Structure 1
């Protein structure tokens, strides 16, 4: 599948995986809508992309549920259609269960789950009216198995897997494609912005992320999966954990307790 002149809306486009996706997709001639909270960072990303005349910026905050419907309408109006939504925006967590306030779990779910699916639901009538559309949702390997320090984050990613598996089952025959992307450790600033148990930011770069795959490598893998319209793809050497959990759950339970995740 060629992505040239496809209209692709990327959330979380101001850094990390979203930024890498913007740079690679712009080089392929796609029409891009870049979204995140920080306008200055989105403008920086755009300035580093190819074919800037094909790139529009639309700021949004995934926690602002009341404005996501109007933001979706704005996104459609920018190019007249949205062919692909890459739902990449979100926040992470670094705290133990017994040290995490309930409001932190609520915040994680509002951003990572409710904000994510709100955009998908808002776009569905538009895509169904055209008889085609593609949701690419960037979750995590923690959407398949939970780890220490990620209880809330893993819960949001598990929820996304459940929602999009159901959406696919209901609408794939109507032209709606779903690609679930589950990366392992990717070298981005996600741990710096992760929430601690009291809701404050971590402001620490995880050693595991420093040794993870690059955002560019991750973006390349996502784009390959999009073109092949894969239903699910795992990225990174940690992907073996998904298979261990499936086929050797007892071994996995012992392994994950000792896994280095920060």
Structure 2
């Protein structure tokens, strides 16, 4: 499909994958709604994206999210594509990690992303169309050392996305779960340490990772093709992701349960 003149809302759009996705969608003629906490950095991204609406807010603030959702939906008559991309990573051993770090990462990477989607699924199903995309991670396919909180959140996000896809399978709304490997961003530099501080330095594997622009192009191409599970990785990370890929036949099987009235029967019991 074409994303020309479609309204695309991206969270975590001020840098990294989010900024690259904004530029990629803009290059395809989309109208961009950009969200993140740093309005100045969002404005910098917007200079490359043509007509944009900036909605800066903290994804953990429910009132701010509700206000932003209303504005995004009203701007061009509806949100056609929503990318749940905001998140923070981790670099710390479980044995040394404060419980608050787990709460913070799961709140940002999982709960807030679910809230973002929940605010839009009614809007999209009423319109009978739309794309919801969740940025998980290869660490959401395979548990990775030093990322126990991050893996827990990203596994959870993938589970929510897969279950939501089945529920919405008869509505015209497509759900994509995206699993990036190492992308050359500041994700490691901004990762939380055992005490919740920013790490402040990157990893060699991240620095040598896929260029964000290349990763974004792959993601958007796959969304346009209707791909439900999108793995964007190289080398060993790609092999890990492919080893845990969910067969399309299984997605079809679960969607068929909904088509046969599974949810209606459950609600009637």
> TM-score, normalised on structure 2?
0.88
CA–CA separation in structure 2 for the residues paired with 1:40 and 1:235: 29
Give the secondary-structure state (helix, strand or coil) at the position aligned to 2:195.
Answer: coil
Answering whether residue 114 of structure 2 is matched by residue 117 of structure 1, we say yes
Answering whether residue 209 of structure 2 is matched by residue 207 of structure 1, we say no
CA–CA separation in structure 2 for the residues paired with 1:185 and 1:146: 15
Answering whether residue 238 of structure 2 is matched by residue 239 of structure 1, we say yes
CA–CA separation in structure 1 for the residues paired with 2:212 and 2:31: 21
Deviation, structure 1 residue 245: 5.5
Q: 1:155 is matched with which residue: 149, 152, 157?
A: 152
Deviation, structure 1 residue 22: 1.2
What does residue range 105-184 of structure 1 map to in structure 2 within 5 Å?
105-184=102-181
Deviation, structure 1 residue 242: 2.7
CA RMSD after TM alignment: 1.4
Q: Which runs of 5+ in 2 are unaligned?
A: 246-269
Deviation, structure 1 residue 131: 1.0
Structure-2 residue corresponding to 1:85: 82
Give the secondary-structure state (helix, strand or coil) at the position aligned to 2:8.
Answer: strand
Deviation, structure 1 residue 243: 3.7
Give the secondary-structure state (helix, strand or coil) at the position aligned to 1:173.
Answer: coil
Give the secondary-structure state (helix, strand or coil) at the position aligned to 2:199.
Answer: coil
CA–CA separation in structure 1 for the residues paired with 2:151 and 2:90: 9
Give the secondary-structure state (helix, strand or coil) at the position aligned to 1:89.
Answer: coil
CA–CA separation in structure 2 for the residues paired with 1:40 and 1:146: 35
Structure-2 residue corresponding to 1:226: 223
CA–CA separation in structure 1 for the residues paired with 2:148 and 2:63: 27
Deviations 1:7-53 (A, max 9, x none): 1001111011111111121111101101110000000111133xx2x
Greater CA drift, 85-94 or 62-71: 62-71
CA–CA separation in structure 2 for the residues paired with 1:25 and 1:36: 17
Count of equivalent residues: 244
The 4+ residue runs of structure 1 with deviation greater than 2 A are 242-246
Q: Which runs of 5+ in 1 are unaligned?
A: 247-262
Check whether the contact 1:86–1:135 (CA below 8 A) recurs between aligned residues: yes
Check whether the contact 1:145–1:242 (CA below 8 A) recurs between aligned residues: yes
CA–CA separation in structure 1 for the residues paired with 2:174 and 2:145: 32
CA–CA separation in structure 2 for the residues paired with 1:233 and 1:141: 10
Give the secondary-structure state (helix, strand or coil) at the position aligned to 2:169.
Answer: helix
Deviation, structure 1 residue 244: 4.0
Check whether the contact 1:10–1:33 (CA below 8 A) recurs between aligned residues: yes
CA–CA separation in structure 2 for the residues paired with 1:150 and 1:160: 15
CA–CA separation in structure 2 for the residues paired with 1:209 and 1:132: 36
Deviations 1:68-121 (A, max 9, x none): 222211211222200010111110000000011111000001111111010100
Structure-1 residue corresponding to 2:20: 20
Answering whether residue 173 of structure 2 is matched by residue 197 of structure 1, we say no
CA–CA separation in structure 1 for the residues paired with 2:15 and 2:241: 27
CA–CA separation in structure 2 for the residues paired with 1:244 and 1:163: 21
Give the secondary-structure state (helix, strand or coil) at the position aligned to 2:71.
Answer: helix
